[in-house]
């Protein structure tokens, strides 16, 4: 017998003194989270049975923090406090995290567990899974949603928070204390809350532990930093399992996973590899700043502003229907406003309905340009042009432009003035990102949903391939985002030299549908001294304003049609969203 096992036996004898063999078994069962889970928790997919953990889940769950005496510090200290589950999709990582949350709350008195998820839907799903696992075995004195709280009779609580989407949401967690922090999808855009709020909570208690799960997003944030560093250097224990370890994985699943998206996505999502560095296109604090407390409403004559310019963007999406945005630009304040949103659901009349909708909006609003994604919209663009020619007062044949994201844009090199060609898509995305970064745009806060415009902005990433091309990846689809980007592109392309225009010139075409043309004719906008000289200063009393700042350096740009693209081609750029046409990605477990 080794010295250690002899010590263990003596220790056990002291600890177990006075207990019956059943009580000793029970105590052991409570001490071991795996044993506890398999004897107390129901299988969430089949509540008639107890859960049976998979081999790797046992490894992950059994790894627990340890308390030891530090001679140096002359006190008990904790180690192994942070562990991270870096696993592929559907491996069963979130369930491990939830099992531990329940185990900790059940086996400790007055224990506080915090569960943090990037989106509300994930928290709701987590609550459903928790309730199913508890079944009739574990009684809670209170289970509520919104706020997400589970209370046990021993005084322990599990509280759920939404961490990712809004800066001000962090304030709800701020100031809380906890004994355990469980973060789901930790690598998906919530670093700002983790570092500002959650890490201080972890540091607030010597025994507080951190359990995080995620697929790698390609970012090099906190999840990555903790995974690659050893604990002695502030890192965490990371468990890395690809999706293929799951018993549910098979050849069909592998084929589907590969077909669903790019190789990079497969590496991140299923192999749980770090892959190439990808970056969010829109920075979270900037996106938060775009939100305004307003909702979309029906636009009426009195809503349009005298000096403002309106452009529309349209995305024809085969899977999600047609998305339409109108963005207003106010040259006085140099600000943009997302004023109108229309979605035409996908059914057999989608395209016709969308064309009608565009005509309708065009009647109501003084639209200067309508930029339409060429992808699936070629026929509809032709219809609009035809209608415009038959009804010249609508000007649709002139204002509607089909944009092929595979084409190039011609820019002036600011260093030598030479013309250079750049792929259009990164150009438009960069232009939109700059508007957001400059704090020049307002977006109604109702868009801050996972699949809303702002949700799509938060999940939009870019990565540079080894050949130097920029590739975009959308975590939460990009149909709304593309329509909105197209509206902004119209401003940039058509009015890069906006200062040279008179408003009347821009609006000359409108057959005064709302009785406003006469007013426009009277005004000039944004004229700088040069253009005033060229065009005349307009009305006396109109102040000279700051010249309009083009969004992209290089000023006016010209769209270059792709030469080899067949006319009327329905070919489409390989959007990353096609990768996930099955709908909500992270809404389910
Ligand atoms: N040990 C188990 N026994 C039975 N079912 C399980 C087990 N572990 C996980 N599952 C089931 O597998 C599915 C995926 O589990 P879970 O949501 O925990 O995985 P995940 O890795 O977090 O997935 P995602 O990548 O979608 O977040 C769920 O339906 C869950 O109920
Ligand atoms: Mg999960």
The domain ranges of the chain are 78-269, 286-507
Residue whose tokens read 């398999």 = 38
Higher per-residue confidence, 528 vs 303: 303
pLDDT tens track for 107-128: 999 999 999 998 888 999 999 9
Ligand 1 pocket test: pick from 95, 118, 246 the residue with the most ligand atoms within 8 Å of its Cβ: 95
User: 3-state class of 172 per DSSP?
Assistant: helix
From the CA of 586, give the closest atom in ligand 1: 26
> Closest Cα to residue 546, out of 333, 353, 358?
333
Comparing 19-23, 82-86, 405-409, 458-462, the range with the smallest average pLDDT is 19-23
**Ligand 1 atom 22, closest CA:** 94
Looking at ligand 1, which atom is closest to the CA of residue 89? Answer: 25
Closest CA to 185 of 213, 225, 152: 213
Whose atoms come closest to the Cα of 90: which ligand?
1
Range scoring the smallest mean pLDDT among 50-54, 159-163, 317-321, 512-516: 512-516
* 539-560 mean pLDDT: 40
Strands 291-292 and 441-444: parallel
Confidence of residue 179 (pLDDT cuts 50, 70, 90): very high
Measured in angstroms, how far is the CA atom of residue 301 from the centroid of ligand 2?
A: 48
Question: What's the CA-to-centroid distance between 15 and ligand 1, angstroms?
Answer: 37
Per DSSP, the residues of 62-118 read H---EEEEETTTTEEEEE--EEEEEE-TTSSHHHHHHHHHHHHHHHSTT-EEEEEES
Q: Which SS3 state, helix, strand or coil, does residue 47 take?
A: strand
pLDDT at residue 550 is higher than 70: no
Pick the residue with more confidence: 220 or 524? 220
The mean pLDDT value for 190-219 works out to 91
Give the residue whose CA is nearest to atom 11 of ligand 1.
Answer: 92
Ligand 1 close to Cβ of residue 41 (< 6 A):
no
Gap between the Cα atoms of 64 and 82, Å rounded: 9
Rounded to the nearest angstrom, the distance between the alpha carbon of 58 and the centre of ligand 1 is 14
Strands 408-412 and 419-423: antiparallel
Asked if residue 43 has its Cβ within 6 Å of ligand 1, the reply is yes
Cβ of residue 90 lying under 6 Å from some atom of ligand 1: yes
Rounded distance between C-alpha atoms, residue 33 and residue 108, angstroms: 12
Whole-number pLDDT of residue 23: 74
Percent of the chain with pLDDT over 90: 43
Relative to the CA of 96, which ligand 1 atom is closest?
A: 18
Backbone angles phi, psi at 190, to 5 degrees: -120, 20
Quick one: pLDDT at residue 585? 37
Question: What's the gap between Cα 322 and its chain centre?
Answer: 21
> Phi and psi dihedrals of 200, rounded to 5?
-60, -35
Contact 453, 480 (CB under 8 A): yes
Please identify, by atom number, the ligand 1 atom nearest to the C-alpha of residue 45: 31
The first and second tokens of residue 428, run together, are 């438009």
Selected residue with higher pLDDT from 377 and 474: 474
Nearest CA to ligand 1 atom 30: 92
Instruction: Note the pLDDT of residue 135.
Output: 92
Which residues, 6+ apart, have CB-to-CB distance to 566 below 8 Å? none
Average pLDDT for residues 486-510, to the nearest whole number? 57
How remote is the CA of residue 94 from the centroid of ligand 1, in Å? 7
Task: Please write the tens of the pLDDT for every residue from 219-264.
Answer: 888 999 999 999 888 999 999 999 999 999 999 989 888 877 667 7
Which ligand gives the minimal distance to the CA of 91?
1
Fold of 286-507: Nucleotidyltransferase; domain 5 (3.30.420)
CA distance 147 to 381: 48
How many angstroms does the Cα of residue 340 sit away from the middle of ligand 1? 40
Cα 163 to Cα 54, 117, 167, 587: the distances in Å are: 29, 6, 9, 15
Whole-model pTM? 0.61
Q: What per-residue confidence (pLDDT) applies to 379?
A: 86
Rounded CA-CA distance 335/329 in Å is 6
**pLDDT surpassing 80 at residue 370:** yes
> What number is the average pLDDT over the span 268-279?
86
Supply the residue whose CA is at minimum distance from atom 17 of ligand 1.
Answer: 589
**Is the CB of residue 455 below 6 angstroms from any atom belonging to ligand 1?**
no
- In the chain, DSSP finds a helix count (H) and a strand count (E) of 22, 25
Quote the CA–CA distance of 236 and 249 in Å, as a whole number. Answer: 28
Query: Which ligand is nearest the CA of 43, by number?
Result: 1
pLDDT at 496: 62
Q: In the chain, what percentage of residues exceed pLDDT 70?
A: 77
Cβ neighbours of residue 251 under 8 Å, at least 6 residues apart? none
pLDDT band for 559, please (50, 70, 90 cuts): low
What is the spatial distance between Cα 338 and Cα 330, in angstroms, rounded to a whole number?
11
pLDDT at position 72, please? 85
pLDDT at position 506: 38
Q: Give domain 78-269's CATH superfamily.
A: P-loop containing nucleotide triphosphate hydrolases (3.40.50.300)
Which bound ligand lies closest to the C-alpha atom of 123?
Answer: 2
Domain 286-507 in the same topology as domain 78-269: no
pLDDT at residue 515 greater than cutoff 70 = no
Neighbours of ion ligand 2 (CB under 5 A): 94
- Give the residue-averaged pLDDT of 44-63: 95
Which pLDDT band holds residue 54 (cuts at 50, 70, 90)?
very high
Q: 95-99, 337-341, 521-525: which range is least confident on average?
A: 521-525
The CA-atom distances, in angstroms, between 20 and each of 35, 107, 160, 326 are 19, 19, 38, 74
Higher per-residue pLDDT: 548 or 332: 332
Ligand 1 atom with the shortest distance to the CA of 589: 17
For the segment 287-300, the average pLDDT, to the nearest whole number, is 84
Ligand 1 centroid to residue 239 C-alpha, Å: 16
Averaging pLDDT over each range in 316-320, 354-358, 406-410, 569-573, which range is the top one? 354-358
Q: Can you read off the two tokens belonging to residue 52?
A: 């049976």
Q: How confident is the model at residue 584 (pLDDT cuts 50, 70, 90)?
A: very low
Expressed in angstroms and rounded, the spacing between residue 283 Cα and the centre of ligand 1 is 31
Q: Is the pLDDT assigned to residue 365 strictly greater than 90?
A: no
For the chain, the first-to-last Cα distance in angstroms comes to: 47
Report residue 46's pLDDT band, with 50, 70 and 90 as the boundaries: very high
Cβ(128)–Cβ(589) below 8 Å: no
pLDDT at residue 437 tops 60:
yes
């Amino acid at each position: 017998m080794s010295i250690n096992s002899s010590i263990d036996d003596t220790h056990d004898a002291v600890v177990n003194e006075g207990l019956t063999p059943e009580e000793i078994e029970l105590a052991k069962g409570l001490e071991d989270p795996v044993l506890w889970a398999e004897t107390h928790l129901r299988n969430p997919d089949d509540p008639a049975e107890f859960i049976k953990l998979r081999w790797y889940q046992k490894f992950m769950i059994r790894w627990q923090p340890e308390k030891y005496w530090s001679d140096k510090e002359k006190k008990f200290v904790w180690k192994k406090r942070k562990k991270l589950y870096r696993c592929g999709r559907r491996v069963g990582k979130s369930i491990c995290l939830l099992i531990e949350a329940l185990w900790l709350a059940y086996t400790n008195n007055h224990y506080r567990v915090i569960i943090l998820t990037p989106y509300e839907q994930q928290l709701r799903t987590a609550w459903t899974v928790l309730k199913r696992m508890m079944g009739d075995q574990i009684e809670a004195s209170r289970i509520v949603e919104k706020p997400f709280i589970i209370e046990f009779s021993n005084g322990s609580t599990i509280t759920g928070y939404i961490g990712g989407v809004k800066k001000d949401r962090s304030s709800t967690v701020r100031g809380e204390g906890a004994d355990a922090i469980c973060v789901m999808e930790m690598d998906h855009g919530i670093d700002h809350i983790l570092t500002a709020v959650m890490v201080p909570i972890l540091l607030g208690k010597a025994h507080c532990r951190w359990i995080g799960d995620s697929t790698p997003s390609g970012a090099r944030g906190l999840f990555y930093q903790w995974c690659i560093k050893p604990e002695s250097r502030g890192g965490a224990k990371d468990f890395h399992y690809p999706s293929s370890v799951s018993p549910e994985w098979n050849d069909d699943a592998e084929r589907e996973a590969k077909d669903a998206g790019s190789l990079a996505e497969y590496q991140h999502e299923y192999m749980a590899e770090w892959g190439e560095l990808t970056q969010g296109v829109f920075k979270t604090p900037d996106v938060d700043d775009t939100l305004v407390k307003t909702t979309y409403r029906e636009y009426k004559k009195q809503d349009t502003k005298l000096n403002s310019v309106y452009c529309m963007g349209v995305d024809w999406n085969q899977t999600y229907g047609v998305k339409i945005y109108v963005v207003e630009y106010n040259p006085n304040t140099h600000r943009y406003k997302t004023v109108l949103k229309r979605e035409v659901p996908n059914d057999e009349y989608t395209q016709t309905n969308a064309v009608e909708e565009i005509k309708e909006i065009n009647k109501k609003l003084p639209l200067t340009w309508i930029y339409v994604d060429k992808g699936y919209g070629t026929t509809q663009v032709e219809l609009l042009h035809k209608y415009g020619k038959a009804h010249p007062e609508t000007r649709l044949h002139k204002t509607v432009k089909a944009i092929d994201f595979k084409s190039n844009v011609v820019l002036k090199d600011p260093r030598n003035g030479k013309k250079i060609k750049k792929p259009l898509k990164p150009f438009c995305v960069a232009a939109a990102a700059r508007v957001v970064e400059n704090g020049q745009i307002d977006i109604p806060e109702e868009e801050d949903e996972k699949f809303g415009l702002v949700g799509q902005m938060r999940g939009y990433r870019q990565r540079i391939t080894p050949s130097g091309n920029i590739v975009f990846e959308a975590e939460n689809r990009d149909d709304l985002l593309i329509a909105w980007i197209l509206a902004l592109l119209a401003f940039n392309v058509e009015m890069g030299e906006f200062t040279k225009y008179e408003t009347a010139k821009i609006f000359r075409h409108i057959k005064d549908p709302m009785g406003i043309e006469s007013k426009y004719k009277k005004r000039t906008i944004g004229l700088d001294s040069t253009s005033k000289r060229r065009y005349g200063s307009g009305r006396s009393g109109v102040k000279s304003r700051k010249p309009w700042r083009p969004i992209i350096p290089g000023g006016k740009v010209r769209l270059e049609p792709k030469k080899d693209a067949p006319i009327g081609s329905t070919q489409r750029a390989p959007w990353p969203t096609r990768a996930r046409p099955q709908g909500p990605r992270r809404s389910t477990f």
